[in-house]
Amino acid sequence: GENVEQHPSTLSVQEGDSAVIKCTYSDSASNYFPWYKQELGKRPQLIIDIRSNVGEKKDQRIAVTLNKTAKHFSLHITETQPEDSAVYFCAASTGNQFYFGTGTSLTVIP
Amino acid sequence: DTGVSQDPRHKITKRGQNVTFRCDPISEHNRLYWYRQTLGQGPEFLTYFQNEAQLEKSRLLSDRFSAERPKGSFSTLEIQRTEQGDSAMYLCASSLLRTGNNGYTFGSGTRLTVV
């Protein structure tokens, strides 16, 4: 089955700096890669996603890149704000269920 | 809130007891998924339904776990003879078949504590 690894497990940045979270996956059949933000005690919420036929996608301060050959994808958050502090999960899917990474706890220091 | 609803939000039970959770998906969504999330980990897939058919079950879903979606609407997840290792957040999600992976919406989860 699919194995998704995520790094780093914790990340602290100064407000206004950029944050990068990286994930790798093992199943070359995976074709959909969402990123979720989860605040303490709340449900995971989709923040951005990318399909395997696209190399990069951007939505305001958030961008995701995908390298199918290397089987890795990354989340980039620019101009970080304190409200970006949360746990971020990457996931990979071949069409049905998601396989999630172990999460990155991001802290944005004001 | 017209999203995915889960009930109860919290459940504390003694080891060996049976528990049942309910998930009400977004009404037009015909796919429904169950995940388990332990502290510090990402959600782990348990099972999913397309309408009333249970299409896939993870190896994580032991014989003590059973899920149903009898009318293709709400779903229940039952855990029999609970163990301390069952303590986790149980998340439900739903999506539209025709959008494939798009539209995945998670519920707020049921936090189970087995004492």
Q: Which amino acid makes up residue A38?
A: Q
Q: Does residue A74 contact residue A54 with C-beta atoms inside 8 Å?
A: no
Pairing of strands B110-114, B10-13: parallel
How does residue B5 score in pLDDT terms, banded at 50, 70 and 90? very high
**pLDDT-above-90 percentage for chain A:** 85
pLDDT tens digit sequence for A89-101:
999 998 888 899 9
Give pLDDT, residue A41.
Answer: 85
SS3 B58: coil
Name the A residues in 9-48 with CB < 8 Å from any B CB: 32, 34, 36, 42-46
pLDDT tens digit sequence for B81-99:
999 999 999 999 999 875 5
- Among A43, A75, A93, A102, the residue to mutate for chain B (most B Cβ within 10 A): A43
Interface contact A43-B100, CB threshold 8 A: no
Q: What is the mean pLDDT of residues B19-45?
A: 93
